[in-house]
Structure 1
């Protein structure tokens, strides 16, 4: 699943602000670089991989090393992650996500279904994929792409953009969903003119009542998927968790069995 569109800042950024934001984003890019490349790296390696000036990469790497988040070998001129990154992440996970509960849940879902498991959250008018556990299906070598908007406008009016979007919207009241649709319209998602929201509200209401949203593969969608709203302690935005696979179900009986399995795992009954 892909990275979602960034949220627009609430105030105009001055030159100094923009430079600070760019530096902060590049620092995160460096940390993500080491999550994808499991070997010590020179400044030029990071610079070329991220497409940033060598001087910028050098400054960020030095700063992270001074703060203890990277280790630096002066002889080989190579950087590697410090365990401080792991300790910091573990502390955040313990304080905000109930320890390893989410990791255990995702692994359990993968083991019980064989599917790829995705954890998503709301990011303003968009959906953000924040974690993934690969399943048996090896059809995707890159992160899965998907509609990034929470809601979209089609021939039949407003609707959740995906079943994961629908599971996230299920946490909202009808009034909040309408406000979100209005905001989406104002920023260019959908028509500028006011439009009816009944179909959107009805779709989300059905998801809310069932406790899941299902999508079956077809000519344009390459995977089957099931998404469920997920309660996360201390969360300030909705979360949803779900499974994806190329052949999860072929008939109504398969669907019912897979939905039952997913809901049982999430509910701690499996």
Structure 2
């Protein structure tokens, strides 16, 4: 990865997390970037039109250009559906940690998160990744794949040699259950005591798959599984329509 490109996107994601203007020194400390290269990076992003700089308080903030690009891409990917509204709706209805996930090669990545309301909840930061073959979010995303693609993923995981072993037959059985139920459930599969119930969002294409999940302690998810599934389906139908 080109270091400067990675840092530029890290800066933009940081604004999404803190949701306020920041000083250059705040950004440098957040990522342990050298002060000089941080200043050069921010000046370049200002010159390109992606950040604004307020001379009065010396703070940076994303410009409307980011919002315009995001608005277009959101419409291209999801039509009239509104992801943030969907996540907020699910959060208010369910109360558990709500997670938006996408496929990142052999992993499922959590790209946006709303923490749960309970004292004991699933607490994970945006950017967290889980193996496609061994996580609820991953199973939901994989359930949309053809058999040949799944087999290729299995071979790549085996060749990689990292993480837990993968059993093709067992994975196929899990994905068959996901397709039958219409959702994936993972209880203590990757992190002991924690779980997730995940569903795919309708209308996403082969290379733009998106899933959404409700995560929390295993015992609470198991006892509320039917209720959570019902609330998730109802919220998806309200915001995206029936698949």
For the superposition of Structure 1 and Structure 2, which TM-score range results when normalised by the shorter chain?
Answer: 0.7 to 0.9
Q: Which residue of 2 aligns with 1:221?
A: 192
Q: How far apart are residue 146 of structure 1 and its match?
A: 6.8
Q: How far apart are residue 250 of structure 1 and its match?
A: 5.4
1:266 aligns with 2:239: no
Normalising by structure 2, we get a TM-score of: 0.82
Normalising by structure 1, we get a TM-score of: 0.75
Q: Which residue of 2 aligns with 1:8?
A: none
Q: How far apart are residue 145 of structure 1 and its match?
A: 9.3
CA distance in 2 between counterparts of 1:208 and 1:26 reads: 38
1:206 aligned to which of 171, 177, 181: 177
CA distance in 2 between counterparts of 1:203 and 1:141 reads: 26
Cα deviation 1:3-54 (Å, max 9, x = unaligned): xxxxxxxxxxxxxxx6xx1110111122123233344333333222221122
CA distance in 2 between counterparts of 1:196 and 1:179 reads: 13
Q: Which residue of 1 aligns with 2:207?
A: 236
The unaligned stretches of length 5 or more in structure 2 are none
Q: Which residue of 2 aligns with 1:149?
A: 131
Q: How far apart are residue 57 of structure 1 and its match?
A: 0.7
CA distance in 2 between counterparts of 1:168 and 1:233 reads: 11
1:256 aligns with 2:238: no
Q: Which residue of 2 aligns with 1:68?
A: 49
2:160 aligned to which of 160, 181, 187: 187
Q: Which is richer in helix?
A: 2
Within 5 Å, give how 1:120-159 maps onto structure 2.
120-139=101-120, 143=125, 148-151=130-133
The unaligned stretches of length 5 or more in structure 1 are 1-17, 152-160
Report the 3-state secondary structure (helix = DSSP H, G, I; strand = E; otherwise coil) of the residue aligned with 1:240: strand
Within 5 Å, give how 1:85-164 maps onto structure 2.
85-139=66-120, 143=125, 148-151=130-133, 161-164=134-137
CA distance in 2 between counterparts of 1:232 and 1:55 reads: 45
Change (3 A) 1:211 1:23: same
Q: Which residue of 2 aligns with 1:80?
A: 61
The count of corresponding residues between Structure 1 and Structure 2 is: 237
CA distance in 1 between counterparts of 2:62 and 2:164 reads: 47
Larger radius of gyration: 1
1:25 aligns with 2:6: yes
Q: Which residue of 2 aligns with 1:175?
A: 148
